[in-house]
């Protein structure tokens, strides 16, 4: 278990913004803090592939194929297709589409199972202005999509995947907690949702766990000595190394609202919610056991405990969509009967 602590003594009213932050770590315990997913289409729109043909479709999907007609009609209209594609269908461009008709607009937000490009007269371009969601499997760990579906995969000397970094036929991009990999040999785009271990590696924590070095990857290590242990930094979007002052900005914003309630606002890495559930612990005595334990749920909504304290979870509502916004409110009634209130975050993590 790793945890952090904030002590709050009722006093002058604080403004309800993020400028009031106060965190004091317990011995060998880190404090906590603030700070969120890229959609598949952002990666797919970055792909620049020149091939005899390629297909984009979740590998587990069995879908009907709908063929694009030789016209520039918006893609949400029946006249653009032999049969208008839906969420379970593959949208296909074949050689019947002439070069002058390979550019079109969505016309509305659309959801297809995939896209197949099979020898049209020119590069297929979908104009911006709406959102195209591809595949039903979405952003989840170990999902993959077949982009190149030809028996013999041949790539020209100028082949590149825009926005990804390539070496030896493997192209990668790290976007928040998502690691995208396109492998030329298989023709597949894969997704790994970053775990604590991959985060630690990306942070440069290359030592041996528990070695006490400046690159110690142990969950309870604090290589940059900012009072925030590695695992809590991972959960809250702080860095393991670098500027400690910048990392401390990720700690919870602490204030009192207009009713006198104590409010803590923080961001939780969305992909960590199941593997490292957060628990808010609060009370009026650091030595008292047990604390009031209030688990932060993984679903959206507001939960309330027996003291009237509440935790509101906004999925994807953090500083970026990789993070959930968590708002903890300890009511004025509790504060009135507990002259000095302490609050901390705790979490169990098996890296």
What is the pLDDT at residue 34? 27
pLDDT tens-digit map of 53-96: 333 333 333 468 899 999 999 999 999 999 999 988 888 898 99
Contact 288, 344 (CB under 8 A): no
The whole-number pLDDT of residue 347 equals 83
Q: What is the DSSP string of 267-309?
A: EEEGGGTTTS-EEEEEES-TT-SS-EEEEPPSSSEEEE-TTS-
- Work out the mean pLDDT of the chain and round it to a whole number: 77
Pick the range with the lowest mean pLDDT from 14-18, 219-223, 231-235, 314-318: 14-18
**Residue 27 clears pLDDT 80, i.e. is over it:** no
Cα dihedral 128, 134, 138, 139, rounded to 10, equals -40
Q: Which domains does the chain have, with CATH numbers?
A: 2-35+219-347 (2.60.40.10), 40-193 (no CATH)
Question: pLDDT tens digits for 137-179?
Answer: 556 666 777 777 666 777 877 787 777 888 888 898 866 557 7
Q: What's the predicted TM-score (pTM) here?
A: 0.50
Residue keyed to tokens 């952090």? 4
Peptide bond into 188 cis (omega under 30): no
Q: Would you state the pLDDT for residue 168?
A: 84
Pick 306 or 28 by higher pLDDT.
Answer: 306
Whether 285 has a pLDDT exceeding 90, the answer reads no
How high is the pLDDT of residue 350?
58
Residue 224 CA to residue 235 CA, distance in Å, equals: 17
């Amino acid at each position: 278990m790793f945890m952090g602590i904030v002590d709050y003594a009722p006093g002058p009213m604080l403004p309800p913004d993020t400028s009031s932050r106060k965190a004091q770590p317990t011995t060998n315990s880190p404090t906590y803090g603030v700070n969120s997913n890229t959609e598949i289409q952002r990666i797919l729109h970055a792909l620049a592939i020149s091939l005899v043909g390629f297909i984009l479709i979740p590998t587990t999907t069995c879908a009907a194929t709908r063929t694009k007609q030789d016209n520039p009609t918006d893609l949400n209209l029946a006249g653009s297709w032999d049969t208008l594609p839906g969420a379970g269908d593959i949208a296909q461009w074949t050689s019947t589409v002439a070069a002058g008709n390979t550019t079109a607009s969505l016309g509305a937000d659309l959801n297809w199972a995939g896209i197949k490009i099979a020898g049209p007269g020119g590069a297929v371009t979908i104009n911006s202005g709406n959102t195209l969601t591809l595949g039903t499997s979405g952003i989840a760990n170990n999902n993959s999509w077949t982009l190149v579906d030809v028996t013999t995969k041949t790539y020209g000397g100028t082949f590149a995947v825009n926005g990804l970094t390539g070496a030896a036929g493997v192209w990668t991009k790290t976007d928040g907690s998502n690691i995208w990999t396109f492998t030329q040999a298989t023709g597949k785009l894969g997704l790994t949702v970053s775990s604590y271990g991959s985060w630690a590696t990306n942070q440069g924590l290359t030592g041996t766990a528990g070695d006490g070095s400046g690159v110690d990857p142990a969950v309870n290590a604090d290589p940059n000595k900012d009072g925030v242990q590695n695992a809590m930094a991972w959960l809250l979007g702080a860095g393991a190394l670098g500027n400690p002052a910048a990392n401390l900005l990720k700690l919870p914003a602490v204030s009192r609202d207009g009713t006198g309630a104590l409010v803590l606002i923080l961001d939780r890495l969305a992909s960590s919610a199941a593997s490292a559930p957060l628990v808010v612990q609060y009370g009026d005595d650091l030595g008292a056991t047990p604390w009031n334990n209030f688990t932060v749920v993984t679903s959206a909504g507001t939960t309330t405990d027996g003291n009237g304290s509440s935790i509101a979870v906004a999925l994807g509502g953090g500083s970026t969509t990789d993070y959930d916004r968590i708002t903890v409110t300890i009511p004025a009634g509790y504060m009135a009967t507990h002259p000095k209130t302490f609050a901390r975050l705790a979490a169990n993590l098996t890296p």
